[in-house]
Amino acid sequence: MKEKVVLAYSGGLDTTAVIPWLKETFDYDVICCCIDCGQGEELDGLEERARLSGAAKLYIEDIVDEFCDEYIMPCVQAGAVYEHKYLMGTAMARPIIAKKLVEIARKENAVAICHGATGKGNDQIRFELSIKALAPDIKVIAPWRDDRWGMDSREAEIDYCHAHGIDLPFGNDQSYSRDRNLWHISHEGLELEDPSAAPNYEHMLVLSVTPENAPDEPEEVSITFEKGIPKTVNGVEMKVSDIIRELNRLGGKHGVGIVDIVENRVVGMKSRGVYETPGGTILMEAHDQLEELVLDRDTMEAKKKLGSQLAQTVYEGKWFTPLREAICAFVEKTQEVVTGEVKFRLYKGNIIKAGTTSPYSLYSETLASFTTGDMYDHHDADGFITLWGLPLQVRAMKMNELKNENKK
């Protein structure tokens, strides 16, 4: 019996070329594992492709609901956004993919896990940190960092496949480098490698239209939440994954959630990408609108800081860590009051508020109104301002005293 390796398999040229390379280099039986996070039609024909490429077995694992419930929603609830813009569609998916690879490796008694991430990107870190945390005894193979790989272009990979009897319909693809799941699709390469160039949205977009091409009429949408979890869209109850699908449809139709980012990768370089996250952008905004109504000031301030820290933690591949668990435990506690309904209009890339209600609302019309009410006496502000501004006043008095002494 040969030893086995589990390969994170997408069916693309890179991971197809890896199959004969693993067999030739290590004499392994290759167990392909495709993790379905909502890639859609990208999974078509995978079984035949894996077989023709020499794989001993193929697993296709549907983890869409687990991805939504246990990875996406904690980040939504935390408001975890990397560098103020990136909603982390790829970063959230990598740890659950790694978890499933480990599960298959245990099932198959494999000695190694192989991924096709390059030596320049973030994904190698996310995969390998997750595998180290879950299965420190399993070897990780990263062909792009192995001197025996020897292929540095699509042409070289195609030639290698042909030389090993793999004649699949791969060509010299001139499209963007993309990553897709239920939450988003990312685009890198081509004109995006020049930060002075505008994105060619007409050529690029998959889930969305540009705001200019969106309908001229706004569309009313409502979302209800219970303890921070979305429950309905426009009155129709759905599970989280179906809510994201529906919001993707609505957001894509109205040009919502298209961002052009130059981000700082973990490995030290800057990279540029365009992300389409229509449903995620809507869901994050709706959740934020509800939280601003129900969370007190101190909790919101603490949550903003921890949300930013969670984004950094997840982006850097540290999902399976005590820090990530602790931040999520804090966030989960805050969600006990995040229940209510959020209404808004979608219009040409914009999400326009149209009213928020919650049984836990901390907004008091009596207090906020310009009309004097029983709970607030305007004169109370006199003493408050005196004490609140006392440090400023004392410092100013001292500086003036020193200034006058220096004039003598």
Q: Fold identical between 4-163 and 178-295+338-357?
A: no
pTM over 0.85: yes
Residue 317's closest CA among 132, 141, 179, 72?
Answer: 132
pLDDT of 376 reads 76
CATH of domain 4-163: 3.40.50.620
What DSSP designation does 71 have? I
Confidence of residue 154 (pLDDT cuts 50, 70, 90): confident
pLDDT of 370 reads 63
Identity of residue 122: N
With H, G, I as helix, E, B as strand and everything else as coil, classify residue 214.
coil
What are the sequence ranges of the domains in the chain?
Answer: 4-163, 178-295+338-357
pLDDT of 338 reads 98
* 263-285 mean pLDDT: 97
pLDDT of 369 reads 65
* 347-362 mean pLDDT: 98
| List 10, 14, 49, 180, catalytic entry | 14
Q: Which residue has the higher pLDDT, 406 or 114?
A: 114
Residue 182's closest CA among 126, 242, 127?
Answer: 242
pLDDT of 377 reads 81
Pairing mode, if any, of strands 340-347 and 219-226? antiparallel
Mean pLDDT of the chain: 95
Count the neighbouring beta carbons within 10 Å of the beta carbon of residue 191.
14
Catalytic site includes residue 94: yes
| List 29, 36, 123, 179, catalytic entry | 123
Examine the pLDDT at 372 and tell me if it is beyond 60. Answer: no
Q: What strands lie across the sheet with 270-276, from one edge to the other?
A: 177-180, 185-188, 270-276, 258-264
Per the CB < 8 A criterion, the answer to whether 227 and 270 are in contact is no
Catalytic site includes residue 137: no
Q: Which residue has the higher pLDDT, 169 or 107?
A: 107
Catalytic site includes residue 123: yes
How far apart are alpha carbons 196 and 394 in whole angstroms? 50
CB half-sphere exposure, 57, CA atoms < 13 A = 14
Structure tokens at 405: 């002494």
Examine the pLDDT at 102 and tell me if it is beyond 80. Answer: yes
Percent residues over pLDDT 90 in the chain:
89
* 342-369 mean pLDDT: 92
| List 65, 69, 154, 177, catalytic entry | 177
Choose the weakest-confidence range: 1-10, 44-53, 163-172, 330-339: 163-172
Residue 76's closest CA among 331, 337, 356?
Answer: 331
| List 94, 126, 245, 272, catalytic entry | 94
Of the candidate CATH numbers 1.10.287.90, 3.40.50.1220, 3.90.25.10, 3.90.1260.10, the domain formed by 178-295+338-357 belongs to 3.90.1260.10
Examine the pLDDT at 167 and tell me if it is beyond 90. Answer: no
